[in-house]
Structure formats: structure tokens, C-alpha cells
Amino acid sequence: MRVVHLNQDPGTGPAKKKGAAVHVACMRRAFERRGATVAGLDVPGREVALGELRALHADGGIDLIYERYALDADAGATFAREHGVPLVLEVNAPLLLEAAEHRGRAVAAEDEARERAVLTAAHVVLCVSNGVADYVRGRGIDPTRVIVRPNGVDSDVFRPRAATDTLRTELGLDRRFVVGFHGRLRPWHGFENVVEAARRLAQRGVDSHVLAVGE
């Protein structure tokens, strides 16, 4: 099976170190472990992406496009409609809503129409949370094509291990209950929920410590 993993987000490339880039790399490795031949495309420009997709299709065909949805990106949807290739669209956030609320973007009717067209073109819309799925269904997408699959963990890299007194002492944690957060402190990441969880633990008499790792 030949899978094209399409990423049109200019800030999420193979050389990046942020979470989204790691997610892209891990998904490609996961497809390969399942026996697929994977072609990774990291091309932000619409016409360039369409050209790359058409070239791959002419040279051996494409069985599936798996796309990480990016704002204003519709090359995967356009190609899938043109050639009848199945498209799985991975949606990690309500990007248009975030752009309006957190980046001051004035969302026009054509922006909403483009997003709806991309979502409609996908045979399956893979959402990382129930909230994202609600957003997608709210765009008028057939609920039977919307699937919720929370982000996973590569257990070969991240796995539980025995707590060490050395690390706890180094971080000043002692024996307290640790609430962890790893990532960038962006407004849409909901760090306030971690703080609220710690507050509720304190109300219940739990001696807790919030450990934030990241920017």
C-alpha cells in the first residue's frame, strides 16, 4: 500500500522540533511499521503540492492520502476529488476558530467555505478529541465519517518507570503528587485547566506540585 502523508503547514516540517512536527514524523513511522510505503510531502504551496501529488500518482499510483489538516490548505482535498483517491484528514484543532480568537484573523465566508469543502472531501475525518469532533460536525460533515482518536504515545520512547528520589530531589518535588504539563504555553492549550486541577487537589488536602516542561 502506498500512502502519501501530506503536511502543508509551513511551521511543521521534518527539521522542526515542536510537538506537531514530532507527531508528523511518528505517524509516518507508524505507517511504515504497518507495512505501507510512505511518501512524506511537506509542501505549503497549493500548486506545488498538487504538482507533487500528480507526479507521485503518475509514478506508481497513490492508494491513500493521509493529511494533517493545515489552515487554508486544500491541495489534498482537490487532488482526492480529481483522482478518486481516498483521503483521511487528521484534524488536531479548530484552526479557523483559533485564528479568529487568538490571532485576530477576520474570518470571511470564503474561508469557512474552503474549510467546509476540505472536510467534505475527506472520506474519514480523524479528530483528536470530542471537542474537535463537535466542531467538525458543526461544519455540516456527515457524523458517520467523523472518528475520534486521541493522540497516542510511542511506548518505545515514553513509558512509565520507577520514580527516583534523585530526580525528585533535583526538581524539589519531595514526595508530593505531581501534575505534569509538557508543551508550549499557548492560550488554546488550556494550561489553566492544569492549574484548576491543582487547586482542587489542594482543596482535598492533597500536597501537589505543578511541573511544567516547555516554553
Q: How does pLDDT run across 133-155, given as a tens digit for each residue?
A: 999 999 999 999 999 999 888 88
pLDDT computed for residue 115 by the predictor: 95
Place of cell 455540516: 140
149: number of Cβ within 10 Å? 11
pLDDT at 158 over 80: no
pLDDT computed for residue 190 by the predictor: 84
Confidence of residue 181 (pLDDT cuts 50, 70, 90): confident
Q: Of residues 12 and 42, which shows the higher confidence score?
A: 42
The x, y and z cell numbers of residue 159, run together, are 513509558
Sign for the pseudo-dihedral over CA of 121, 5, 146, 94: negative
Taking residues 92-97, report their average pLDDT: 91
Q: Of residues 156 and 21, which shows the higher confidence score?
A: 21
pLDDT computed for residue 163 by the predictor: 66
Q: What are phi and psi of 83, to 5 degrees?
A: -115, 0
Burial grade of 24 (CB within 10 A; 0-12, 13-18, 19 or more):
buried
DSSP state, 187? G
* Percentage of the chain lying above the pLDDT 70 cut: 98
Lowest mean pLDDT among 12-21, 65-74, 201-210: 12-21
Contact 4, 41 (CB under 8 A): yes
Q: Which helix (H) or strand (E) holds 137?
A: helix 130-138
Q: Of residues 14 and 147, which shows the higher confidence score?
A: 147
Average pLDDT, the chain: 91
Sign for the pseudo-dihedral over CA of 51, 52, 53, 59: positive
Q: What is the model's pTM? A: 0.84
The x, y and z cell numbers of residue 145, run together, are 465519517
